[in-house]
Amino acid sequence: MKKLLYLMTLLPVLVSAQQAKSKMETITLGGGCFWCIEAVFDNLDGVISAESGYSGGSIQNPSYEEVSTGKTGFAEVVQIKYDPSKTNLDEIFKVFFTVHDPTQLNRQGADVGSQYRSVIFYANAQQKKTAQEIIQQLNNAKAYKTKIVTTLEPFKGFTKAETYHQNYYENNKSKSYCQYVIQPKLEKFEKVFKDRLKKKK
Protein backbone atom coordinates (compact mmCIF):
# COMPACT_ATOMS: atom_id res chain seq x y z
CA MET A 1 0.00 0.00 0.00
CA LYS A 2 2.87 2.40 0.75
CA LYS A 3 4.16 1.73 -2.76
CA LEU A 4 0.76 2.65 -4.23
CA LEU A 5 0.59 5.89 -2.27
CA TYR A 6 4.11 6.80 -3.37
CA LEU A 7 3.29 6.09 -7.01
CA MET A 8 0.21 8.28 -6.82
CA THR A 9 2.41 11.23 -5.87
CA LEU A 10 4.66 10.60 -8.87
CA LEU A 11 2.03 10.25 -11.59
CA PRO A 12 1.77 13.55 -13.48
CA VAL A 13 -1.29 15.75 -13.28
CA LEU A 14 -1.57 17.47 -16.64
CA VAL A 15 -4.11 20.13 -17.56
CA SER A 16 -4.49 20.57 -21.31
CA ALA A 17 -5.23 23.96 -22.85
CA GLN A 18 -8.62 22.64 -23.97
CA GLN A 19 -9.49 21.55 -20.41
CA ALA A 20 -8.44 24.91 -18.98
CA LYS A 21 -10.87 26.72 -21.27
CA SER A 22 -13.81 24.50 -20.41
CA LYS A 23 -16.10 25.50 -17.57
CA MET A 24 -17.07 22.01 -16.48
CA GLU A 25 -16.31 18.37 -17.26
CA THR A 26 -18.11 15.20 -16.17
CA ILE A 27 -16.89 11.66 -15.43
CA THR A 28 -18.86 8.71 -14.06
CA LEU A 29 -17.13 6.18 -11.77
CA GLY A 30 -18.10 3.04 -9.90
CA GLY A 31 -15.98 1.67 -7.08
CA GLY A 32 -18.25 -0.32 -4.81
CA CYS A 33 -20.93 1.34 -2.71
CA PHE A 34 -21.59 4.81 -4.07
CA TRP A 35 -21.80 6.26 -0.58
CA CYS A 36 -18.03 5.84 -0.19
CA ILE A 37 -17.01 7.31 -3.53
CA GLU A 38 -19.35 10.27 -3.21
CA ALA A 39 -18.08 11.14 0.26
CA VAL A 40 -14.48 11.23 -0.97
CA PHE A 41 -15.04 13.32 -4.11
CA ASP A 42 -17.23 15.78 -2.25
CA ASN A 43 -14.01 16.83 -0.51
CA LEU A 44 -11.71 17.16 -3.53
CA ASP A 45 -10.95 20.74 -4.53
CA GLY A 46 -12.29 21.46 -8.00
CA VAL A 47 -15.22 19.07 -7.78
CA ILE A 48 -18.44 20.98 -8.31
CA SER A 49 -20.78 18.10 -7.49
CA ALA A 50 -20.70 14.36 -6.84
CA GLU A 51 -24.05 12.59 -7.23
CA SER A 52 -24.81 8.96 -6.46
CA GLY A 53 -26.69 7.02 -9.10
CA TYR A 54 -26.76 4.12 -11.55
CA SER A 55 -25.11 3.52 -14.92
CA GLY A 56 -24.48 0.62 -17.27
CA GLY A 57 -27.89 -1.01 -17.56
CA SER A 58 -30.65 -0.76 -20.12
CA ILE A 59 -33.93 -0.31 -18.25
CA GLN A 60 -35.39 3.13 -17.66
CA ASN A 61 -35.21 4.76 -14.22
CA PRO A 62 -33.93 1.78 -12.22
CA SER A 63 -34.62 1.70 -8.50
CA TYR A 64 -32.12 0.84 -5.77
CA GLU A 65 -33.99 -2.40 -5.16
CA GLU A 66 -33.71 -3.40 -8.82
CA VAL A 67 -30.02 -2.53 -9.06
CA SER A 68 -29.33 -4.40 -5.82
CA THR A 69 -30.36 -7.70 -7.42
CA GLY A 70 -27.20 -7.58 -9.53
CA LYS A 71 -29.23 -8.65 -12.57
CA THR A 72 -29.85 -5.31 -14.29
CA GLY A 73 -26.37 -4.55 -15.62
CA PHE A 74 -26.30 -1.32 -13.64
CA ALA A 75 -23.49 -0.36 -11.30
CA GLU A 76 -23.65 1.95 -8.34
CA VAL A 77 -21.75 5.02 -9.54
CA VAL A 78 -20.94 8.59 -8.73
CA GLN A 79 -21.22 11.19 -11.46
CA ILE A 80 -18.56 13.81 -10.85
CA LYS A 81 -18.76 17.29 -12.30
CA TYR A 82 -15.55 19.26 -11.96
CA ASP A 83 -13.82 22.50 -12.88
CA PRO A 84 -10.90 21.54 -15.16
CA SER A 85 -9.00 24.67 -14.16
CA LYS A 86 -8.77 23.30 -10.60
CA THR A 87 -8.57 19.53 -11.10
CA ASN A 88 -8.53 17.08 -14.00
CA LEU A 89 -8.96 13.46 -15.03
CA ASP A 90 -5.45 12.48 -13.96
CA GLU A 91 -6.07 13.61 -10.40
CA ILE A 92 -9.60 12.24 -10.29
CA PHE A 93 -8.35 8.83 -11.40
CA LYS A 94 -5.54 8.98 -8.84
CA VAL A 95 -8.11 9.53 -6.10
CA PHE A 96 -10.37 6.81 -7.51
CA PHE A 97 -7.61 4.17 -7.56
CA THR A 98 -6.44 5.16 -4.08
CA VAL A 99 -9.75 4.87 -2.22
CA HIS A 100 -11.02 1.53 -3.55
CA ASP A 101 -9.52 -1.84 -4.50
CA PRO A 102 -9.60 -2.13 -8.30
CA THR A 103 -8.33 -5.72 -8.20
CA GLN A 104 -11.54 -7.16 -6.71
CA LEU A 105 -13.93 -8.46 -9.36
CA ASN A 106 -17.57 -7.49 -8.80
CA ARG A 107 -17.10 -6.62 -5.16
CA GLN A 108 -15.68 -4.22 -2.61
CA GLY A 109 -15.19 -5.81 0.77
CA ALA A 110 -18.49 -7.23 1.97
CA ASP A 111 -20.43 -5.63 -0.90
CA VAL A 112 -20.68 -8.36 -3.54
CA GLY A 113 -22.27 -8.33 -7.01
CA SER A 114 -21.79 -6.79 -10.44
CA GLN A 115 -23.51 -3.64 -9.18
CA TYR A 116 -20.38 -3.05 -7.08
CA ARG A 117 -17.89 -3.55 -9.91
CA SER A 118 -14.94 -1.26 -10.39
CA VAL A 119 -15.80 0.64 -13.55
CA ILE A 120 -15.06 3.83 -15.47
CA PHE A 121 -17.83 4.96 -17.79
CA TYR A 122 -16.04 7.02 -20.40
CA ALA A 123 -17.96 9.69 -22.33
CA ASN A 124 -15.33 10.28 -25.01
CA ALA A 125 -12.08 8.95 -26.47
CA GLN A 126 -9.92 11.16 -24.24
CA GLN A 127 -11.47 9.83 -21.04
CA LYS A 128 -10.94 6.27 -22.26
CA LYS A 129 -7.32 6.95 -23.23
CA THR A 130 -6.51 8.62 -19.92
CA ALA A 131 -8.06 5.71 -18.00
CA GLN A 132 -6.13 3.15 -20.05
CA GLU A 133 -2.88 4.99 -19.43
CA ILE A 134 -3.20 5.18 -15.65
CA ILE A 135 -4.28 1.52 -15.41
CA GLN A 136 -1.26 0.51 -17.48
CA GLN A 137 1.05 2.64 -15.32
CA LEU A 138 -0.27 1.09 -12.12
CA ASN A 139 -0.07 -2.45 -13.50
CA ASN A 140 3.47 -1.91 -14.84
CA ALA A 141 4.55 -0.53 -11.47
CA LYS A 142 2.92 -3.50 -9.69
CA ALA A 143 1.09 -1.07 -7.41
CA TYR A 144 -1.20 -3.92 -6.35
CA LYS A 145 -0.48 -7.60 -5.71
CA THR A 146 -2.69 -8.58 -8.65
CA LYS A 147 -3.74 -6.85 -11.86
CA ILE A 148 -6.45 -4.20 -12.00
CA VAL A 149 -9.83 -5.52 -13.15
CA THR A 150 -11.54 -2.14 -13.53
CA THR A 151 -13.70 -2.21 -16.65
CA LEU A 152 -13.88 0.63 -19.16
CA GLU A 153 -17.41 0.94 -20.48
CA PRO A 154 -18.97 3.55 -22.80
CA PHE A 155 -21.23 5.95 -20.96
CA LYS A 156 -24.85 5.46 -22.00
CA GLY A 157 -26.72 7.34 -19.33
CA PHE A 158 -27.01 8.17 -15.66
CA THR A 159 -29.98 7.80 -13.33
CA LYS A 160 -29.69 9.77 -10.12
CA ALA A 161 -30.25 7.59 -7.07
CA GLU A 162 -33.03 8.16 -4.58
CA THR A 163 -32.77 11.25 -2.37
CA TYR A 164 -31.78 9.34 0.77
CA HIS A 165 -28.61 8.11 -1.00
CA GLN A 166 -27.34 11.63 -1.70
CA ASN A 167 -24.84 13.02 0.84
CA TYR A 168 -25.32 9.78 2.75
CA TYR A 169 -22.15 10.04 4.79
CA GLU A 170 -22.72 13.63 5.84
CA ASN A 171 -26.27 12.80 6.90
CA ASN A 172 -25.49 9.51 8.66
CA LYS A 173 -22.06 9.80 10.26
CA SER A 174 -23.12 7.95 13.41
CA LYS A 175 -24.17 4.80 11.54
CA SER A 176 -21.82 1.83 11.70
CA TYR A 177 -21.32 1.59 7.91
CA CYS A 178 -20.19 5.20 7.83
CA GLN A 179 -17.83 4.74 10.76
CA TYR A 180 -16.28 1.43 9.76
CA VAL A 181 -16.36 1.51 5.95
CA ILE A 182 -16.59 5.09 4.70
CA GLN A 183 -14.56 6.89 7.38
CA PRO A 184 -11.34 4.87 6.78
CA LYS A 185 -11.55 5.65 3.04
CA LEU A 186 -11.99 9.33 3.80
CA GLU A 187 -9.06 9.32 6.20
CA LYS A 188 -6.86 7.64 3.59
CA PHE A 189 -7.90 10.20 0.98
CA GLU A 190 -7.29 13.11 3.34
CA LYS A 191 -3.82 11.78 4.18
CA VAL A 192 -2.67 11.22 0.60
CA PHE A 193 -4.31 14.30 -0.91
CA LYS A 194 -4.07 16.63 2.08
CA ASP A 195 -3.05 19.57 -0.12
CA ARG A 196 -6.03 19.06 -2.43
CA LEU A 197 -8.89 19.19 0.05
CA LYS A 198 -11.67 21.73 -0.27
CA LYS A 199 -11.36 24.54 2.19
CA LYS A 200 -13.96 24.34 4.93
CA LYS A 201 -16.46 27.18 4.83
- Indicate the Cα dihedral angle 39, 43, 48, 54, nearest 10°: -20
- DSSP letter for each residue of 55-67: ES--SSS--HHHH
Tell me which residues are annotated as active site: 33
Q: Which amino acid belongs to residue 196? A: R
d(CA 158, CA 82) in angstroms, rounded, equals: 16
